Amino acid sequence: MVSRSYSMGLYGLDAFIVSVEADISVGLPGFDVVGLPDTAVKESRDRVRSAMKNCGFQFPVHKITVNLGPADKRKEGPIYDLPLWVALMKASGQLDAELEDSVFIGELSLTGEARPVKGILPMAIKAKEAGFQKLYVPEANSAEGVVVEGLAVYPVKNLESLAMHLTGRAEIRPAAAKPDVRQNSIPLPDFSEVRGQNEAKRALEIAAAGGHNVLLIGPPGSGKSMLAKRIPSILPDMTFGETIETTKIHSIAGTIPNGASLITSRPFRSPHHTVSPAGLSGGGNIPHPGEISLAHNGVLFLDELPEFSRSAMEVLRQPIEDGKVTISRVNGTISYPCAVMLVAAMNPCPCGYFGHPTKPCTCSSNAVSRYLSRVSGPLLDRLDLHIEVPPVEFDEISSQEKAESSSIIKERVNAARMLQNERFKGTPVTCNARITPDMLHEVCRLSDSGRELLKKAFEKLGLSARAYDRILKVSRTIADLDKSGEIEPRHVAEAVQYRSLDRKYWTKEL
């Protein structure tokens, strides 16, 4: 007898319907799974067999063939345990229920407990689009599934409760949607705790308002990492679209906190400098998101930038420009979004004191040159703001005066981002840093005096075309913070000043 249940599969961010067909026929006992299963899927045979026996169900001692269709798409992970059990129960006559409108996703323990799996949100969205009305998932994944409206999500605790529900003996109530709480459960570090560094704080406010990439450079102990780790406290609130995009990526990666429905805070990822290029961009036989995609709509912080391998740094260049990372494998090509705000921090030399006002640098000029040359010109050109973080003076660090809090800074950032949301409504652009070339001159309107100032800076500093575009975008953000419709000379002057450190440090003669 042949029976069928439905499940889902994942390829990148896209989900697809999987038909789980079970055939029980006369012959020598055996259990074969076909349809391009990976090792985890093949191991479902043993998990399902033990779960059925330990829960009091009869495992059919016949020739069993299970087909996962479509057979030309690779299936991976333990998510097919639950639909395989349903198909076997129907094929063996132990379950009589019409389940054409239902999708089953979940891993089983040997005792029949339903264990959580990855990727529930994109699969739930696809199930709704395909016309399914019911989704059965492990209890721990139910909060993630209820995000999709119009789909009844049933939290499955174990096989006994699911069998009683499907046979009408005891109902499992659909999971209820939780209220959207846009607050961090863990308090974020606050900018009020940082003494001094007002220029750096101003630059980071501009970066947060427009989503611009930042380089922080200064001696050890000047507060570069301290400043960077406080950026999440001033980032603008996420739109609903950004929330769904971010949650889908973290759902696939399995990094959503237990019981959470959505990722409502912008991600902050800080990989160690030993991370591999594949760790940043993503990889695997069926590629999974890397750090740059997990930071989508948030911050990717690279501390001690020159310590990263050259190949790891260079893998960032194209994704930073395009806002997506494309990974090609034999099985196909996958693109993940990665619209990140890249924040990098570094010392100016191996000892850290090159250019320090009081402490002498112990490095040779060649050592300084080699250290700085680890950051390539093309990567440096993609960083919109170059911020020098000088050592803090005693009077500043010992001051009892309370610095401006993150909440006050965030109000200004949110106001500027609201202007951008209104400006880019109906377009794929989300912030000033993502302005496309065709929109640049229409959106970044310069006053006559502002254009004249930018022309002088372009000619005197020998700026590249990319640097010109990025100065325009930063000027637009500064004008938004100033609530100015037109970009004035003061906005251009401030933006230009953030492109000067490469001329102080990255020179041929040190």
Least confident of 52-56, 68-72, 130-134, 460-464: 460-464
pLDDT tens readout for residues 89-105: 999 999 998 899 999 99
| Helix 159-166 vs helix 81-91: crossing angle, to nearest 10 | 50
Q: Judge whether 200 and 275 are in contact, CB under 8 Å.
A: no
Q: What is the pTM of this model?
A: 0.90
393 DSSP assignment: P
Q: Is residue 181 predicted with pLDDT exceeding 90?
A: no
pLDDT tens-digit profile of 357-400?
889 999 998 999 899 989 988 888 889 999 999 988 877 777 77
- In the predicted model, is pLDDT for residue 238 greater than 60? yes
Question: Strand 268-269 vs strand 63-69: parallel, antiparallel, or unpaired?
Answer: unpaired
Q: Which residues of 474-496 are buried (b: 16+ CB within 10 A; e: fewer)?
A: bbbbbbbbeeeeebbbbbbebbb
**pLDDT tops 80 at residue 1:** no
Model confidence over 270-315: pLDDT tens digits? 999 999 999 999 877 778 899 999 999 999 999 999 999 999 998 9
CB 237 within 8 A of CB 414: yes
CATH number for the 2-166 domain, one of 3.30.230.10, 3.30.300.30, 2.60.420.10, 3.40.50.300? Answer: 3.30.230.10
For 227-236, what is the mean pLDDT? 95
Question: Would you state the pLDDT for residue 183?
Answer: 42
Q: In the chain, which segments carry CATH 3.30.230.10?
A: 2-166
Q: CATH 3.40.50.300 spans which residues of the chain?
A: 191-425
Arithmetic mean of pLDDT, 210-216: 95
- DSSP character for 403? P
pLDDT, residue 185, reads 52
Mean pLDDT over residues 102-127, rounded? 96
pLDDT at 435 over 50: yes
Question: What's the pLDDT at 95?
Answer: 93
Q: What is the pLDDT of residue 356?
A: 86
What tokens appear for 357 in the block?
A: 């006002």
Superfamily of domain 191-425: P-loop containing nucleotide triphosphate hydrolases (3.40.50.300)
- Tokens for 307, please give them: 């310590």
User: Which of 319, 267, 336 is closest to 298 using CA atoms?
Assistant: 267
Q: What's residue 173's pLDDT? A: 95
With residue 245 as reference, give the H or E element that holds it.
helix 240-253
Q: Which of 253, 195, 230 is nearest to 397 (CA)?
A: 195
Query: Which residues, 6 or more positions from 281, have their beta carbon under 8 angstroms from its beta carbon?
Result: 290, 292, 315, 319, 325, 327
Instruction: Tell me how far apart the alpha carbons of residues 340 and 354 are, in angstroms, rounded to a whole number.
Output: 30
Query: How buried is residue 409: exposed, middle or buried, by Cβ count under 10 Å (0-12/13-18/19+)?
Result: buried
| Tokens of residue 93, six digits | 């006559």
Judged by average pLDDT, the poorest of 45-49, 56-60, 181-185, 389-393 is 181-185
- What pLDDT was estimated at residue 269? 96
Closest CA to 80 of 173, 174, 26, 10: 10
333, pLDDT greater than 50: yes
Among the listed residues 166, 167, 161, 164, the one whose alpha carbon sits nearest the alpha carbon of residue 139:
161
